Every structure is written in structure tokens, then in C-alpha cells.
Amino acid sequence: MAGENKILAEKILEQLGGAGNISAYTHCMTRLRVTPKDESLVNIAAIKKIDGVLGLVDEETLQIIIGPGKVNKVTEEFAALIEMTGGIDLKEKAAGKKAEINKKNATPFKLFLRKISSIFIPLIPALVASGLITGITKAVVQAGWLAGDSQLAIILSVIGSGLFSYLGILVGMNAAKEYGGSPALGAIAGILIINPAVAGIILFGEPLLPGRGGLIGVLFAAIFIAVVEKRVRRYVPQSLDIIVTPTVSLLITGIVTYLVFMPIGGFISDAITNGLTAILDFGGIFAGFVLGATFLPLVVTGLHQGLTPIHLELINSIGNDPLLPILAMGGAGQVGAAFAIYVKTKKPRLKRAIGGSLPSGILGIGEPLIFGVTLPLGRPFLTACLGAGVGGAFQAAFNIATTAIGVSGLPLAFLVTTGHVLLYLVGVLIAYAAGFVFTYLFGFKDEMAGEFD
């Protein structure tokens, strides 16, 4: 397996123009992200045809989709190949990063979403792990296999729930770091919001409510403390910086947080949660269909990156998230579409691409299928969206919700509220079936798959 990963890394690097053409690289859950020095040396068509490459996205960086788990190992081999040639020059890396940020499609809105993504994406493994432990523990207790007051159940619950009690600290830390401040001060900004002692503060005749403003308030406070820190540092002598700058930054941020950010954050949080719940209550099945059907286009454009704080805020405000099961149907509709293509196509390369991407799709990681199969083919992407809409309508009809966030697909069943797990899985199967039927009947003909010859 290690040899296969090395061979794949070598093939990718060759088509990228060699180690000397790489100014920066990293990876996420499914993609190797590369910034080439000279894009004219990159053979995108050849990269797409490499066995093991599930797709390619050319945006701010060149994003080569390899799949969860495997991308980590391939990136290690890729890094080793780069280091064999002397590594990446730091000055060139900085210049490449600056050029990346200054690209014409890096609009202020996209840059904002990228920052939101950078704040929350590093937390996803912890969110998934904590959510699954909590969800599985609840399921086992509900099934009667473990007593709810047993020490094992209590231990598992404490392990799983800890993150959600102190999530504001991690969000504050990442937010301050992303905006050029000290992570520790960002963590304190989060503590300002969630500290139980806040209940002892009375402003305008009313006691403050710990946690009021939620993660929205935390983001405001953490970004603000980063900005204040940088401004204060300009005027403080270097010899006094370690004492004066953090103290002044925290004092100013604390006062502004309790007077401004908590009330405003609470108002925005209420608007988001009340607005979404009203849409689902009023729109019902129709709202579920529209939300489910439009999620895959959000993923393609990157706009889904801004939804993580909304999911978390729903859980924080109303105790569950009715939006996530609906949006999870996007991946399910696409799985059904991929099955239909697999059944109809006679092209071995397309079958291999689907076979390599389907397990990830079933487990809730849909990008390999999106960018490697349905989106390049065109029409199957639309029929997958229709299948997702049918699944979303079902989830909305039965008011399915989750108690935490995590990957979608089948694993999300462990996070669904008590008593609704079976209904959620039925909705997944319905989205599979709808995506399959729409694609098989209207979405795919083998001649559409010319690039997979």
C-alpha cells in the first residue's frame, strides 16, 4: 500500500511540472491542495486520468481529490519527494501565497468564507469524534444495552460532551489566529462569552446570560481582540509589549463584549435559528425539497463552508439541528446517481472512478463523487440534486434533527435525535432511490462520458 501511495504521488508530481514547480502544498480531508509556480507546466488532463485521482478542482489552489485517509498518506509521500529536491524556498512560498490571495476570483466574500472555513475545518475531527461518541452512547442506552446511570455510560457521556461545553474557547482561539492575533487571547475571548460567572453581571437592570450570543458572539469577540491587539502593539514600546498589549486588549474586549457583542450576537443567533425553524415549519416538505436540492451547488461554489457556525448555533439555541439531515440528502442523492451511472456505463475507467468514490460518498464525504463523476458529466449532477430534494422533503416532513454535527451519510444516524434514527435511514434510502431513478431514466447516456475513454 505504501508503494502504491508513493507511485501515485510520483505520477501527480510529474504532471504538476516536477518538484521545482511547487511553491506550496497542503491537504484537507479529501484533497491534495497544490500551488504551482508556473501553471502552464501543469497537465490537468493527465492528472485527471491518473488511477487513484478521483477528481480535480482548479480554484484558488489546484485541488486534487484523492479521498479520505488515502490523501494523508499520499501527501506524506508527496512531501518526501519535494524534500528530496531540497524542499520549498520559504520566500517563494510566501510569494506564492500572496499571489494566491490576490487572484481575481478571491472576492471579499470568498475571502471571508475562506477565513470561516479556516476557523471551523480544523475542529471537524474533534466535532465528529465527540458527536459520534455522544450519539452512540445515547443509542446504546436507549436500546437498553447499558444503564444510563452506570459509570461506563457516565464516562462515555463526559468524553463525548466535553467539546460542546467549551467549543467557544477553540473557536475563539482559531478566529484570533486567523485574523492575526494571539490564539491565547482568542481563547479568552471565548471564555468571556461562556464563563458561568457572567450571570453575576447586571447591565441595564438585567443579568447577563452565560453563553448569550453563542458562537456568533465568540467570533465577534475573538476577531475584535485580534484587531485591538495589533492596533495597541503599534504604540507600545517593545520592552512593555508582553505586559501592556494583552492586558489592554483583554480589558477593552471584555467591556465591548458584555455591552455590545453578547446582545448583538444573541440577536443574530435568534434571527438565524428562528428564521430557519420558521422556514421549515411554514414551508414543510417544499422547504425540505428546496434546501436538499440546492446543497450540492453550494458545495461546488464553496458557500457551504459558511454553514458550520449556523449548524452549531442551532444546536446551541434550540438543542438540535433540523437543517443538517436535510442537507445530508445532497450526498445521498448523489450516491444514487453514481449507482445508476455504474449500472449503465460500459466504460471501465468511469466504473473505477465510481467504485473508488462510492464508499466515501456513502460515509458522508461527497466531494470525490461531485468533482470526479457527476459534475464533469453534467446532467447527472442535476438529477442527483433532484434525488437529494426528495430525500430532503422526507426529512422535513418528519422533523428529523441531529444533536451534534458530523459527517453526513450513514454515520449521521448516530447523531439523530432519539426515536428518529430509523426514519433518517429511510430518508437516506429514498434519496438513494430517487437519485438512481432520475439519473437512470433522464440523467446519463454512455456517450456523455467521453473524457473517461
388-409 tens-digit pLDDT: 999 999 999 999 999 888 778 8
**Environment class of residue 159 by beta-carbon count within 10 Å: exposed (0-12), middle (13-18) or buried (19+)?**
middle
What number is the average pLDDT over the span 344-353? 86
Q: Are residues 138 and 87 part of one domain?
A: no
Report the half-sphere exposure of 386 (CA within 13 A, side-chain side): 17
Quick one: pLDDT band at residue 438, thresholds 50, 70, 90?
A: very high
Q: Is residue 110 part of a domain?
A: no
Quick one: pLDDT band at residue 90, thresholds 50, 70, 90?
A: very low
270 vs 452, residue with greater confidence = 270
- Domain extent, residue 74, equals 2-105
C-alpha torsion angle, residues 143, 146, 150, 153 (rounded to 10): -80
Q: Are residues 318 and 246 part of one domain?
A: no
Question: How would you list the strands of the sheet with 31-36, edge to edge?
Answer: 22-27, 31-36, 62-65, 55-58
Q: Is residue 290 part of a domain?
A: yes
Q: Is residue 351 part of a domain?
A: yes
Residue 24 bridge partners (DSSP): 35
User: Cα dist. 34→83, 87, 119, 393 in Å?
Assistant: 15, 14, 20, 38
What number is the average pLDDT over the span 136-160? 85
Quick one: pLDDT band at residue 245, thresholds 50, 70, 90?
A: very high
Res 106: pLDDT: 57
Q: Are residues 310 and 438 part of one domain?
A: yes
Looking at the predicted structure, is the pLDDT value of residue 91 above 50? no
Residues marked active site are found at 28
Res 127: pLDDT: 85
Quick one: pLDDT band at residue 439, thresholds 50, 70, 90?
A: very high
Please answer whether residues 67 and 369 qualify as being in contact, where contact means their C-beta atoms are separated by less than 8 angstroms: no
- DSSP summary character for residue 417: P
Q: Is residue 153 part of a domain?
A: yes
How is residue 51 written as a grid cell? Answer: 488511477
Res 212: pLDDT: 86
Least confident of 101-115, 130-144, 375-389: 101-115
Res 339: pLDDT: 94
Highest mean pLDDT among 32-41, 327-336, 374-383: 327-336
Distance of CA 110 to the CA centre of its chain: 15
pLDDT digits (tens, 9 = 90+) for 201-222: 888 888 888 888 888 999 999 9
Q: Are residues 63 and 10 part of one domain?
A: yes
Looking at the predicted structure, is the pLDDT value of residue 305 above 80? no
Least confident of 64-73, 232-241, 291-300: 64-73
Q: Are residues 304 and 209 part of one domain?
A: no
Q: Are residues 293 and 423 part of one domain?
A: yes
Q: Are residues 199 and 148 part of one domain?
A: yes
Which residues touch 220 (CB under 8 Å, ≥6 apart)?
213, 257, 260, 261, 264, 265
Domain count of the fold of the chain: 3
Res 95: pLDDT: 46
Res 390: pLDDT: 96
Res 260: pLDDT: 92
Res 101: pLDDT: 43
Looking at the predicted structure, is the pLDDT value of residue 99 above 60? no
Q: Are residues 14 and 146 part of one domain?
A: no
Res 98: pLDDT: 43
Q: Is residue 276 part of a domain?
A: no
Looking at the predicted structure, is the pLDDT value of residue 107 above 70? no
What number is the average pLDDT over the span 330-344? 93
Q: Decide which of 58, 74, 105 is a domain's last residue.
A: 105
Find the CATH number of the domain harbouring 96.
3.30.1360.60
136 vs 185, residue with greater confidence = 185
